[in-house]
Amino acid sequence: MDSTETLPQVGFTWDDLRVVLAIETSGTALGAARRLGVSHSTVLRRLATLELALDTKLFQRSEGRMVVSPPAAALLAKARSIAEALDALPQLIDGPNSDLDGVVRLAAPHALICHALTDALANFRETHPAIRIALCADMQFDEFRRGHADVALRISLAVPNELGIRRLCDYRYALYARNDLAQRMQGGATLAEMPFILLSDASRDMPERKWMVSLTRGRAPAIEASSTVSLRAAVASGLGVGVLPCYVGDAVPGVTRIEMGPAAPREGIYLITHPTQSKLARSRAVADFLIKFATRNRHMFSGLTQDY
């Protein structure tokens, strides 16, 4: 190569860095694509662009996951700092004296939004018509921490000290089956004889999945479900016995709760807020609504009654 010839300059954008942060959080390129709402190929392309620009591999594989390589650790730390600064910009524009109008981003589990929260929000809208709620289903915790939502309901999750947290009520799970399957068990059939539904491996750390695995002693499920919403549909269709939150399972027509040991997981519903958002009138209004919502429905969430 001629000594005067120069190599082409390869640049990268902030979007490339966002992809890298999403891969770090999810552990896979496919998971990053789902988080960002882009295609799998887009994630791989942007990762390749950044690695070419930096002339280094940013991730290495370990037990099926993509783990940040040692040379990339400093880059990822700086990218996180930039992301947090960018996410905080809207809060700098909005002051503590904001009126009861504007958008409040509310993060909550998908099942909680679909099966309880949306109905209650109709009453909130009557009281506060100028506050626009943006529902964020199943938001990852690191996204909330970086300011992608203002208020959140979470199920038993430890949070950093910089966030406000308040335990609202108990949250219990139980076994459920369509009536015909439940009658078989009531007639003497054991769980070992029944088909069952299990949350997919992506939810392996969820307490309800761990409980079901222990009850079935590692037996292969008849059906795997990627979410509580799809698991509920499978139970209602009679595809097998499944673990559901009591407030979900108790409301499904034609489905029976099956009480059996060992004891089902008992978690908690928590309200989480950012200190900056808690100073805004509209965010306080939403937080107060969520506190009343959970208190009013505490028996439903704790599984103490099926009459709600």
| pLDDT tens track for 22-33 | 888 778 888 788
For the record, the structure tokens of 171 come out as 């949250």
Residues 6+ apart with CB under 8 A from 256: 176, 177, 178, 179, 182
For the record, the structure tokens of 11 come out as 């640049």
pLDDT band at 229 (very low <50, low <70, confident <90, very high): very high
| pLDDT tens digits, one per residue of 141-185 | 777 777 778 898 988 765 555 567 888 999 999 999 999 999 999
| pTM for this model (two decimals) | 0.65
For the cut 80, the answer to whether the pLDDT of residue 86 exceeds it is no
**Can you tell me the distance from the alpha carbon of 265 to that of 218, in angstroms, rounded to the nearest whole number?**
18
- Which pLDDT does position 159 carry in this prediction? 55
Query: Measured between alpha carbons, how far is residue 96 from residues 99, 272, 275 in Å?
Result: 9, 18, 11
Of the two residues 189 and 80, the one the predictor is more confident about is 189
- Which pLDDT does position 308 carry in this prediction? 35
Q: How many CA atoms lie within 13 A of 38 on its CB side?
A: 17
User: Region 48-74: what's the mean pLDDT?
Assistant: 82
Chain centroid to CA 73: 26
User: Region 229-243: what's the mean pLDDT?
Assistant: 95
CB 275 within 8 A of CB 267: no
For the cut 70, the answer to whether the pLDDT of residue 93 exceeds it is no
- Average of per-residue pLDDT values in the chain: 82
For the cut 80, the answer to whether the pLDDT of residue 97 exceeds it is no
Query: Measured between alpha carbons, how far is residue 143 from residues 87, 138, 151, 152, 244 in Å?
Result: 10, 10, 12, 11, 26
pLDDT band at 112 (very low <50, low <70, confident <90, very high): very high
- Range with lowest mean pLDDT among 61-65, 238-242, 287-291, 300-304: 61-65
Residue with tokens 């990822």: 76
Helix/strand/coil for 304: coil
Q: Would you give the DSSP letter of residue 117?
A: I
Helix/strand/coil for 68: strand
For the record, the structure tokens of 184 come out as 């078989």
